[in-house]
Structure formats: C-alpha cells, structure tokens
Amino acid sequence: MSKIVQEKVSQAVSILKEMDIDAWLVFVRETSANGDPALPLIYGHDLTWQSALIISKSGESTVILGQLEVEAARQTGSYTKIIPYNQSLKSALLETLEQLSPNKIAINYSKNDVLADGLSLGLYQVLMDFLQGTPWADRLVSSEKFMAALRGRKTQEEVKRIRTAIATTDQIYNRTYEFLKPGLTERQVAEFMQFLMDEYNVQPAWDLAHCPVVNSGPDSKMGHVQPGDIQIERGHLVHFDFGVMQNEYCSDIQRMVYILDLGEKHPPEVIQRGFETMVVSIQDTVAAIKPGMLGKEIDAIARKIITDAGYTEFMHATGHHLGRLAHDGAGILGPEWERYGDTPNYPIEAGHVYTVEPSLVIPGYGILSLEEDILVKDNGAVFMSEPQLEMILR
C-alpha cells in the first residue's frame, strides 16, 4: 500500500491548499478495534497507542506515535517528521501545532459521510482535554468536504486497482454463465462463484453471506440477502449482484440472465422491454455526466427514464462511489431523501469512480437491474468495463 499512501498524502496537501485548510489532524487509538476510515489511505497500518497524523498545506507531514511503531511509519515513506513517545503524546502534539500555527484544523467528524466520521466521541473528548486553554481548540472544523475530495478523487494507482478488480469480476461472471443451468439453486450458484473467488485469490467486496446476491424468478427475496434454495427454472430471470476486493480495491457489478423456456429463442416481450429500458437508463445517464453536476441531477435522469416507461420508482440511489469499499465515501448519485443527508448535493469531479444501478420490477418475473462501474474524466464519464447491452441467454 506504500505507493497509494504516498499518492494520497501528496494529494491531501494539494486539497488542503485548494480548500484553504491549514492542517488536517487524524487522531486515533487501537485502530484494529475502532479504526478511522482515513487511516488506510494515509498510513496503511494499524496504530495501537494514541497517535496523531498531521498533514499541513505547507507540505509538512507529521506522525506522533508510540515508540514501538516508528519503523512502520518510516516504511510508508510519506512522513517528513516522525515523533515517537512513551507516556503521552500531548506535549508533542501541542509543540507541532505551535510550530504549524494553523488557523483552521480539519478533524474527522461528519453528519453526512460515514467515511469522514472516524473520530469517536470519546477520543474527541480526549483531544479537547489536550487542547484546553490553547487557541487550537477553537480552530477545529469538520473534514467532511476535504475527505470527500481525498476519498473521491482516485489516483492513477487507485484507478488501476479498481480496473483489475473489475476485470477479475468479469472473468468470474463469464465462467458462471457457463455453469448456470436449470435445476441449480441460488445457493449452489453463489457457492460456485465463491469457489472462483478462492481460485482467483480475491475477497468478496462485501459480506460473504450475500456476495454474490443471486435472485431467480419472482419469489426470490430482493436486496442484500443470502442466496436461498429456490431452484433456477426455465422462464426465470436470474439477477446477480457481485463484486470482489483485489489489492485492497473493489468492483461492484450487477448482471441479468434469462433462462429460455422450452421452444423460446428470445425472452418474452415484457422482459425484453424492461431490459431495454434499463440499458437506456444507464447509457443516457452515463452520457450526461459531467464534472460539476450534482449527484441528484444524475439520479433524476435515470429515475425519470424508468418511471416514464411506466415502471414503479426504485427506492434506492442510482449510484455510489466505488473504491476501497464497494460503497465508498462522499456524495451519491441519489435523490434528496432524508436518509441521504446532504450527499446528493455533492458535485461530481474528475477522478471519481461511481456505480450506476437503476432497477425495476417486472411482475411475475422479479427484479431486473444492471450495475456498471464508471470513471469520471474531465470531459465526461467512461465505462470501466464492457457494459451489458444484451440479455444473457441460457
């Protein structure tokens, strides 16, 4: 991870300058039990004792940490100053802040973004005790927008790793299509895909119990659920939601298969129409994406195509960030619903990686949903693998 840590620390300095934030303070302890989501990006290891990582817009990067973890900090190649301690980091923290003399210090709390909310309440109280009686206590601000930029703007190495995970996912899907046949259960198909994950030496992009999601026919339970004992039958729509984590980065792709009934050469018209609506929704949405647009504007495009075609509105966002997690931080391509807070109003930027995943339900057949992974560039968005444009038939 050292290359990505070095890229992200350097990127953090640039974003601090851009946002006129003097310093960013990441304060952690026992991170194997309660880690800050920022830590893998800018350090890459767990930390045990209370530790402070301070990156300033001047380019200085300081880590104050337990004496026994000095060598791990050096190995990151990312910190200009490494300050070990044995009993308390308070004096080193205050001396560092005195030297930097920041007017604005970002710390990791957020009402909207869980991945910018890594500072626990208890540790915040410890920090405030340290800062009591100093000018720094009144100069703390949320890192929410800063973290949205740092987590959302993928570096070249991050994009490369996501592409690799996507390519592996495509290979597993292709082998699964060949394996798929009537009589198998959802669970058996999922176990085959999990066997392939072991073969490719990758991990699931989310909880293994429902990675992959496999839905066959109208009676299968939709959502983040375990594959069950429903048998795949002729005339069934089969829906997959699947992703892998490879080299610490994830994919997240949904695919649709139709099991031809006896005598059929094509899916029924009602299925074909739903599938074509889904493809148009995704293609038109991706074509419309430009840096500077808001997530809610993109969501509205996909949502309108689905509802204008006569389908019930889907009750989820059109898409989310993709990166170290399948649901990575910052804004979403979603509507202004209370549960999403302010995240639908975050602007889209070059370097963002999103999923695009509208859905619809075809009565009598079940869920129909595709999910594509895209990269936003300066002049628009591109698919990171070949999108599904035709129904896969078995």
- DSSP labels for 221-247? PPSS----SPBP-TT-EEEEEE-EEET
CATH topology match: 2-151 vs 156-393: no
CA distance 300 to 344: 11
> How large is the average pLDDT for residues 79-93?
96
> pTM for the full model?
0.94
pLDDT of amino acid 1: 61
Range name among 77-86, 163-172, 213-222 with the lowest pLDDT average: 213-222
3-state DSSP assignment of residue 269: helix
pLDDT per position as a tens digit, 285-297: 999 999 999 999 9
Residue ranges per domain, the chain?
A: 2-151, 156-393
**pLDDT classification of 219: cutoffs 50, 70, 90:** confident
pLDDT of amino acid 304: 97
> How large is the average pLDDT for residues 326-344?
93
Superfamily name with CATH number, domain 2-151: Creatinase/prolidase N-terminal domain (3.40.350.10)
Q: Which residues, including other chains, have CB under 8 Å from residue 227's CB and lie 6 or more apart?
A: 185, 186, 187, 189, 190, 210, 212, 213, 214
CA 107 to chain centre: 21
> How large is the average pLDDT for residues 382-390?
96
Q: Which residues, including other chains, have CB under 8 Å from residue 355's CB and lie 6 or more apart?
A: 252, 319, 320, 322, 371, 372, 373, 374
pLDDT of amino acid 286: 98
pLDDT of amino acid 114: 92
Asked whether residue 307 carries a pLDDT value surpassing 90, the answer given is: yes
Superfamily name with CATH number, domain 156-393: Creatinase/methionine aminopeptidase superfamily (3.90.230.10)
pLDDT > 90 in the chain, percent: 96
> How large is the average pLDDT for residues 230-259?
97
pLDDT of amino acid 206: 96
pLDDT per position as a tens digit, 22-59: 999 999 999 999 999 999 999 999 999 999 999 999 99
Q: What is the mean pLDDT of the chain?
A: 95
> How large is the average pLDDT for residues 262-281?
96
